[in-house]
Amino acid sequence: MPSYTPPLRDMQFVMHEVLNVSADFAAMPVHAEIDADTINAVLEEGGKFAAEVLLPLNVSGDREGCKLDQATHEVTTPAGFKEAYAKYIEGGWAALACDPEFGGQGLPLVVNQCFYEMMNSANQAWTMYPGLTHGAYAALHTHGTTEQKATYLHKMTSGEWTGTMCLTEPHCGTDLGLMRSKAEPQADGTYRITGAKIFISAGEHDMAANIIHLVLARLPDAPPGIKGVSLFIVPKFNVNADGSPGQRNGVYCGGLEHKMGIHGNATAQIVLDGAVGTMVGQPNKGMQGMFVMMNAARLGVGNQSLGLTEVAFQNALAYAKDRLQMRSLSGAKAKDKPADPIIVHPDVRKMLLTAKAYAEGGRALMCFSSMLLEKELNHPDEKVRKDSGELLAMLTPIVKAFITDNGWISTSTCLQVFGGHGFIKEWGMEQFVRDSRINMIYEGTNTIQSLDLLGRKVLGNNGATLKKFGKLIGALVAEEGVNEKMAEFITPIAVLGEQMTKFTTELGFKGFQNPDEVGAAAVDYLRVAGHLVFGYFWARMAQVALRQIASGNTDPFYVAKLQTARFYFAKLFPETATAMRTARSGVRVLMDTEAALA
């Protein structure tokens, strides 16, 4: 069975030494009392929960999967899942970053994200059950009425009730304007909702007393398309006046999907048969509430692949140090053994370092994004809130798509380190590959994220938000541009930062003439933008490491960070040159292909 050690040291490095989160918290009254010791203590205990409670259930949960009773429509989760969830609630983990008004602990979002990274490493399928609840909680916290909040948020904060987001239908995925589910108004102000949803993660299970579905549906007089979609709360059990679960509602699981991975999570086909629902927000404005969930979920999906990248790396590294195979090309390294450990071979190190660089770069971006969301919600300065929100909106598709692309690359290369053993279930590596593959698909495929980034978030405001990120790069370049020791980290991002302006303008002009040009270039563009962002954070991490070493700090952690930074800029960052070239190749080679695709 795979092993896992929570990367607490690296989390502390990113939060306290690179991002200096305590300074940001000091500027926000809601978190002014939070210090590094508190954060570290919470995450240390969270790491124990992930490694000791969740990790042992990962392989067994994958093998056992979920079981649906067709007669009762009830789903049984794998052995141990329900008991682990009870420990999760008992430990107060569900309430970690929730609003104290509803029983939450009010800790910063970055703490919750780091905790979830560790849980994703230990058991992504299990972590999806409470993970979906956070998105539903956020939507109701933002758009729910006072009565709705009082009814649902306390139980969702405690974890007693879980939540889902019910969007996809059999005939439509991302194109929600094609939705057919109907909501009929009732005299008492509720709605009767009828329809079918598919691919609903954690849509039915035995771990919580109630499941609160947030469902998109159409009113009878709704305009066509996305402008005619409304959002509804549809609980599994209707809620009594005293807040307890009441009669069974007309929403049930009609089937479970048979999937490539995440077998321990119940991906449900949900049937709505006149289910009672209450509207969230205004009629035909349902996407406002759903986007709160979707954006939270997109950050969460990036975090899933970050967790898988980390755990795959840890296990591949341990194997590479132990597995004997051949001799080093430059001469025997383990002369007392019949062969050298495979970690002496250059390409094995390349595979390991690829996963390490993508994990540590992704962690920096994830923590930074969490702090942007925190500032958008809680900073007292309106301009800081606005700027943080705009920057987060641009970075969200990068978090979702770039980190999950990298997770697929990393889990695959870590499996490769194991050779034939990686293809065998007993080692656990193939599960990481299977589990990581869904992350590139759900919550908007990575192509959808790429179109969102280039079409909406960059070209949509003529590159204004991209320029804001460019200012962060410019400030770092100005600070370290004359430091020879930083040149290998600063020069690449300085050059790419200048190239991005011309590159973006060129694609925008071509897209103005033919919108398909944006579609042809978007995926390559996101890879370039992702490396620009990762490059910025790797340069900042190298900056801190160099300063620590210069001050006489002999902790090998900083040497390791520099070595990984050098690898990243030498072996991974140059992908940007290829991606820019392929983006510029245009749409004709894709669309003028009638004979090839006949």
CATH code for the domain defined by 162-284: 2.40.110.20
* Residue 155 confidence (pLDDT): 98
Confidence of residue 478 (pLDDT cuts 50, 70, 90): very high
* Residue 90 confidence (pLDDT): 98
- The answer to whether the pTM exceeds 0.85 is yes
In this predicted structure, the answer to whether residue 589 has a pLDDT above a threshold of 90 is yes
360 is catalytic: no
* Residue 383 confidence (pLDDT): 97
* Residue 102 confidence (pLDDT): 97
Catalytic residue among 310, 443, 480, 517: 443
* Residue 555 confidence (pLDDT): 98
Structure tokens given for 582: 């392929």
Average pLDDT over residues 298-314: 98
* Residue 481 confidence (pLDDT): 86
Strand, helix or coil for residue 140: helix
For residue 303, give the amino acid letter.
N
Q: How far apart are CA 515 and CA 23, in angstroms?
A: 44
Confidence of residue 36 (pLDDT cuts 50, 70, 90): very high
Phi, psi for residue 358 in degrees, rounded to 5? -70, -35
Average pLDDT over residues 290-316: 95
Beta strand 210-217 with 161-166: parallel, antiparallel or unpaired? parallel
Average pLDDT over residues 266-281: 98
HSE, side-chain direction, 13 A CA sphere, residue 394: 23
* Residue 175 confidence (pLDDT): 82
Average pLDDT over residues 345-366: 98
In this predicted structure, the answer to whether residue 359 has a pLDDT above a threshold of 90 is yes
Residue among 433, 271, 415, 259 at smallest CA distance from 351: 415
Question: How confident is the model over 167-200, as pLDDT tens digits?
Answer: 999 988 888 888 999 999 999 999 999 999 999 9
Confidence of residue 516 (pLDDT cuts 50, 70, 90): very high
Kindly tell me the burial class for residue 186, based on how many C-beta atoms sit within 10 Å of its own C-beta (0-12, 13-18, 19 or more).
exposed
Average pLDDT over residues 74-81: 98
In this predicted structure, the answer to whether residue 381 has a pLDDT above a threshold of 90 is yes
Domain ranges in the chain are 8-143, 162-284, 463-590
Q: How far apart are CA 128 and CA 300, in angstroms?
A: 9
Q: Are 58 and 119 in contact (CB under 8 A)?
A: no
Question: How confident is the model over 203-228, as pLDDT tens digits?
Answer: 999 999 999 999 999 999 999 999 99
Kindly tell me the burial class for residue 166, based on how many C-beta atoms sit within 10 Å of its own C-beta (0-12, 13-18, 19 or more).
buried
Distance of CA 36 to CAs 31, 76, 82, 109, 521, Å? 12, 40, 33, 14, 43
Strand (E) positions, 186-248? 191-201, 210-217, 230-235, 237-239, 245-248
Mean pLDDT of the chain: 97
Q: How far apart are CA 339 and CA 337, in angstroms?
A: 5
In this predicted structure, the answer to whether residue 290 has a pLDDT above a threshold of 90 is no
* Residue 390 confidence (pLDDT): 97
* Residue 176 confidence (pLDDT): 80
52-61, 168-177, 422-431, 535-544: lowest mean pLDDT where? 168-177
* Residue 560 confidence (pLDDT): 98
Structure tokens given for 275: 């289910």
For residue 114, give the amino acid letter.
C
Q: Are 332 and 345 in contact (CB under 8 A)?
A: no
Note the maximum CA span of the chain.
Answer: 84
* Residue 92 confidence (pLDDT): 97
Residue listed under structure tokens 């794998």: 78
Confidence of residue 137 (pLDDT cuts 50, 70, 90): very high
What is 8-143's CATH topology?
A: Butyryl-Coa Dehydrogenase, subunit A; domain 1 (1.10.540)
Average pLDDT over residues 443-469: 96
* Residue 330 confidence (pLDDT): 96
In this predicted structure, the answer to whether residue 293 has a pLDDT above a threshold of 90 is no
Which helix H or strand E contains 358, and what residues bound it?
A: helix 346-378
Give the residues across from 187 on adjacent strands. none
In this predicted structure, the answer to whether residue 581 has a pLDDT above a threshold of 90 is yes
Residue listed under structure tokens 């692309």: 405
In this predicted structure, the answer to whether residue 422 has a pLDDT above a threshold of 90 is yes
For residue 343, give the amino acid letter.
I
